[in-house]
Amino acid sequence: MKFLVVGAGEMGRWFGGAIAAHAAETDAGDETDVAFADTDTEVARAAADAVGGRAVSLSTDERFDAVCIAVPMSAAESAIERHAPTAQRALVDVTGRMADPVAAMREAAPHRERVSLHPLFAASNAPGNVAVVIDESGPVTDRISEALAAAGNRLVETTPGEHDSAMETVQAGTHAAVLAFAAAAEDVPDGLTTPIFEDLSAVAEQVTGNSPSVYAEIQATFDGADRVAEAAACIADADDEEFERLYREASDAIRDASATTEKENR
């Protein structure tokens, strides 16, 4: 089976690597071909070398069983439209947004298998939860799911609307809160920290250690940062009584969210 990954960045390599590794562990190893295409040919070659695949041109007229779109969110729809004809059986995306890519895949490939995937982690932290929207299933996308599950990932089925709404909190709001803390923090003398400060500093270090363009795309795509700013302003301006009310509301919200997550994980 032939796979083409359009976009040889972090998520493209993650996807191609999972497909190649699963093939190597099964009797499909000699029959699986993973190719990468990217605007930077050297990046495509490096990704191909890493998984034992090959690099092809973005303008290739070769046909593949499955094409995975692994480009930035802002380029997803145009990439889907451009590369859909290359996919003979299945079209997949790992761009991070779901509503618009799913609609674009449905329009560009109405008679093919279609799945949207969102790994909810950096590739260096894999495996983890992978959000999945199955728009049209079949043997090719089933094999992709098997490969991701075999790598230790937990596949979480969702809908485009549910996913994109959740990302307002999970990504846009969370990143805004962490970056705001990092931007506002001042130097603290050694020994005058608390466990909470140290934990949040570690999270901030993790967030700020990546490409800023990825986080900029998330903020441009999803709402959520504005609610964090409004909440911070309310806390900063609150008197004692108002602060206690906000504190209780936050406690209740976190408790409810934790209970829901625990129930879903059972």
Pairwise CA distance, residues 172 & 169, whole Å: 6
What pLDDT does 211 receive?
84
Strand order in the sheet with 87-93: 54-55, 33-37, 2-6, 64-69, 87-93, 113-119, 129-136, 154-157
Q: How many domains does the chain have?
A: 2
Pairwise CA distance, residues 78 & 162, whole Å: 23
pTM: 0.91
The model's pLDDT over 95-121, given as tens digits with 9 standing for 90+, comes to 999 999 999 999 999 999 999 999 999
What pLDDT does 153 receive?
97
Domain boundary among 124, 158, 192: 158
The model's pLDDT over 213-241, given as tens digits with 9 standing for 90+, comes to 989 999 999 999 999 999 999 999 999 99
Q: Both tokens of residue 31?
A: 């029959």
Give me the amino acid identity at 146: E
The model's pLDDT over 120-136, given as tens digits with 9 standing for 90+, comes to 998 888 999 999 999 99
Domain boundary among 158, 188, 206: 158
181 CB burial (10 A radius; 0-12, 13-18, 19+): middle
Mark whether 153 and 177 lie in a shared domain: no
Query: What domain range is 186 assigned to?
Result: 162-265
Mark whether 169 and 116 lie in a shared domain: no
Mark whether 106 and 195 lie in a shared domain: no
Pairwise CA distance, residues 161 & 168, whole Å: 11
Residue 164 · residue 223 · CB < 8 Å: no
Mark whether 91 and 137 lie in a shared domain: yes
Mark whether 243 and 125 lie in a shared domain: no
Mark whether 209 and 170 lie in a shared domain: yes
What pLDDT does 265 receive?
61
Mark whether 61 and 126 lie in a shared domain: yes
Mark whether 120 and 196 lie in a shared domain: no
3 DSSP β-pair partners: 34, 66
Query: Which residues lie closer than 8 Å to 48 by C-beta, 6 or more apart?
Result: 8, 34, 35, 36, 54, 55
Domain boundary among 123, 138, 158: 158
Name the residue with tokens 């909810």.
Answer: 120
Query: Which residues lie closer than 8 Å to 59 by C-beta, 6 or more apart?
Result: none
Mark whether 39 and 142 lie in a shared domain: yes
Mark whether 98 and 173 lie in a shared domain: no
pLDDT of 29 higher than 60: no
Mark whether 130 and 206 lie in a shared domain: no
